[in-house]
C-alpha cells in the first residue's frame, strides 16, 4: 500500500463497453456524492477497494436516490418510482453484489428492493472491511497515529437496530490498537443521531433539546479523542454536535474507512 494513490473509478457503462464486469458495485448514495464531508468517506472506501485489488465500479450519473428519504417521509409513490428506476438500471448491468457506506441505502437496497424485483447481495462497508481484515487482505499497520487514543463508536440506527450489525464496526476499530470505549447507550440500546426518518432534511419539531446534542453528550461523557461513525447522516449530526459544544480541537469525528485509510498511510 503506497502513498498518494491515483484513483480511477470506472462506471458500470465503461466496464460494460469493454466487455468487463466488476466484482461489486459501489453504491455511493446522495450524501457520498454531494455532501463535501461525505465525499471524503466515499474516497476512503474507494481507496481501500483499490488498495486490496477489488474490481469495482460505480453507476455515476445513472445512480439515483434509493428513495429512502421519500419512503420515511411517507411518500410511498415517489419511493417506488425511484426504486424501480434504479432496479431497471442495475438489472440491465447484471449487478449481483453491492457495497455502500450509507446504512440508509444499505437497508433500502437490502430489505426493500427485493419486493420490487431488485435482488442483490448488499453489504455495508463496515462488514466488508471486517471481512477483508479477517481474510488477511487488509492489514492495519500498528494503528498509526491512533495508537492508545480513546475511540467511541456511535451505532447507526439502520446498521444496528434495523439490521443487527454491531460487531463488524467494532472489530474494525479494534485493529487500530486504540482504546475502544462504549457510550452508556450503545448497540441495541443506542440512541439515534437525530437524522433518521427523513429528519435530516427538515427542521426539528420544538422540544427541549436537539437529539444530536443529547447524543454527543453521551459521547463526551466517555472523554474520547475520536467519535467513530459508519453513516454519512450520523457524521453530519455528530460533527454539528461537537461544533455546538465547542470541542472541535479535542474531538474528531471520522468514518471507519477514513480511520483505516489514515492508519495505513493511504491518504493523499
CATH number of the domain bearing residue 98? 3.40.50.1860
- pLDDT, residue 266, reads 72
pLDDT digits (tens, 9 = 90+) for 55-65: 999 999 999 99
Same domain, yes or no, for 161 and 58? no
Residue 12 pLDDT more than 80? yes
Phi and psi at 233, nearest 5°, equal: -70, -45
Domain annotation covers residue 166: yes
DSSP letter string over 21-63? Answer: --SEEEE-HHHHHH-HHHHHHHHHHHHHHHHTT--EEB-GGG-
The total domain count for the chain is 2
CB of 44 closer than 8 Å to CB of 258? yes
CA distance 141 to 260: 9
Same domain, yes or no, for 41 and 59? yes
pLDDT digits (tens, 9 = 90+) for 123-167: 999 999 999 999 999 988 765 678 778 999 999 999 999 999 999
CB of 242 closer than 8 Å to CB of 251? yes
Same domain, yes or no, for 168 and 226? yes
Question: Rounded mean pLDDT of 70-97?
Answer: 97
- pLDDT, residue 208, reads 80
Phi and psi at 223, nearest 5°, equal: 50, 55
Contacts by 34-42, CB closer than 8 A, 24 or more apart: 35/232, 35/236, 37/232, 37/235, 37/236, 37/239, 38/232, 38/235, 38/236, 40/255, 40/258, 41/101, 41/232, 41/235, 41/255, 41/257, 41/258, 42/101
Same domain, yes or no, for 112 and 226? no
Confidence class of residue 69 from pLDDT cuts 50, 70 and 90? very high
Quote the cell numbers at residue 187.
448497540
Domain annotation covers residue 5: no
Same domain, yes or no, for 159 and 124? no
Residue 203's domain comprises: 140-263
Same domain, yes or no, for 173 and 66? no
Phi and psi at 52, nearest 5°, equal: -90, 0
- pLDDT, residue 206, reads 77
Amino acid at each position: 500500500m503506497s502513498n498518494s494513490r491515483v484513483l480511477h473509478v470506472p462506471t458500470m457503462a465503461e466496464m460494460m463497453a469493454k466487455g468487463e464486469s466488476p466484482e461489486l458495485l459501489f453504491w455511493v448514495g446522495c450524501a457520498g456524492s454531494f455532501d463535501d464531508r461525505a465525499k471524503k468517506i466515499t474516497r476512503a472506501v474507494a481507496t481501500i477497494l483499490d488498495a486490496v485489488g477489488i474490481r469495482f465500479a460505480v453507476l455515476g450519473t445513472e445512480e439515483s436516490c434509493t428513495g429512502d428519504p421519500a419512503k420515511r417521509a411517507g411518500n410511498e409513490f415517489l419511493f417506488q418510482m425511484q426504486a424501480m428506476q434504479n432496479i431497471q438500471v442495475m438489472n440491465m448491468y447484471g449487478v449481483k453484489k453491492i457495497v455502500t457506506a450509507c446504512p440508509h441505502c444499505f437497508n433500502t437496497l437490502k430489505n426493500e428492493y427485493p419486493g420490487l424485483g431488485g435482488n442483490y447481495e448488499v453489504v455495508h462497508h463496515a462488514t466488508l472491511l471486517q471481512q477483508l481484515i479477517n481474510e488477511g487482505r487488509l492489514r492495519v499497520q500498528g494503528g498509526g497515529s491512533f495508537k492508545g487514543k480513546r475511540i467511541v463508536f456511535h451505532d447507526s440506527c439502520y446498521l444496528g437496530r434495523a439490521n443487527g450489525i454491531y460487531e463488524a464496526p467494532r472489530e474494525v476499530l479494534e485493529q487500530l490498537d486504540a482504546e475502544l470505549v462504549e457510550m452508556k447507550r450503545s448497540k441495541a440500546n443506542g440512541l439515534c443521531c437525530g437524522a433518521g426518518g427523513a429528519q435530516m432534511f427538515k427542521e426539528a419539531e420544538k422540544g427541549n433539546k436537539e437529539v444530536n446534542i443529547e447524543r454527543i453528550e453521551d459521547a463526551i461523557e466517555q472523554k474520547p479523542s475520536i467519535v467513530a461513525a459508519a453513516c454519512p447522516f450520523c457524521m453530519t449530526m455528530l460533527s454539528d454536535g461537537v461544533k455546538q459544544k465547542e470541542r472541535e480541537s479535542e474531538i474528531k469525528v471520522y468514518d471507519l474507512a477514513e480511520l483505516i485509510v489514515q492508519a495505513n498511510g493511504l491518504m493523499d
